[in-house]
Amino acid sequence: MGDEARAKAEARIDRATEIYDRHGVVVHVLWVGVAVVLILGGLAMTVLPGPAVVVVPAGLAMLAVVFGWARRLLLAGADEGADAWEHVKRTRRWVKVLSVAAVVCAVGGVLAWFLL
């Protein structure tokens, strides 16, 4: 991830931390509880239907407000995601087309297996 994007992400976490710090113990416990439920639900969604790639980072972002290890993990994941996106942008068009075709065929095969 670029330095500008990383600074923006860190600033958002810092703003959320300031808001978090204004509240009492009950809100702190609920915050961490909801974050843990989101992460566990997202992990379940890796094998069950659901948007795990959205839910797990959301829970991790909530934990990043409280714990330094979660903040480092979230920023490292964002770095890797940015690197992956740059790699996809550099990939040749025919590779992208073949990749999409392979995914469509795989999904179609799984659907056909379930329906037949």
Mean pLDDT, 10 residues at a time, the chain of 116 residues: 72 91 93 95 91 91 93 86 83 91 93 88
Does a structural domain hold residue 100?
no
Tokens of 99: 């990749």
Tokens of 104: 């469509």
Does a structural domain hold residue 14?
yes
How many structural domains are present in the chain? 1
Does a structural domain hold residue 40?
yes
pLDDT value of residue 35? 95
pTM passes above 0.85: no
CA angle 39–42–45, rounded 5-degree value: 155
pLDDT value of residue 6? 75
Compute the distance between CA of residue 45 and CA of residue 51 in angstroms, rounded to an integer: 7
pLDDT value of residue 89? 86
Task: Give me the domain span that covers residue 16.
Answer: 3-91
Tokens 């600074």 correspond to 7
Does a structural domain hold residue 31?
yes
Does a structural domain hold residue 106?
no
pLDDT value of residue 23? 92
Does a structural domain hold residue 51?
yes
CB atoms within 10 A of CB 70: 19
Of 61, 84, 81, give the one whose Cα is nearest residue 10. 61
pLDDT value of residue 37? 96
Phi then psi for residue 22, to 5 deg, are -75, -15
Tokens of 98: 């073949």
Does a structural domain hold residue 22?
yes
Phi then psi for residue 2, to 5 deg, are -65, 160
Compute the distance between CA of residue 43 and CA of residue 76 in angstroms, rounded to an integer: 18
Does a structural domain hold residue 18?
yes
pLDDT value of residue 2? 59
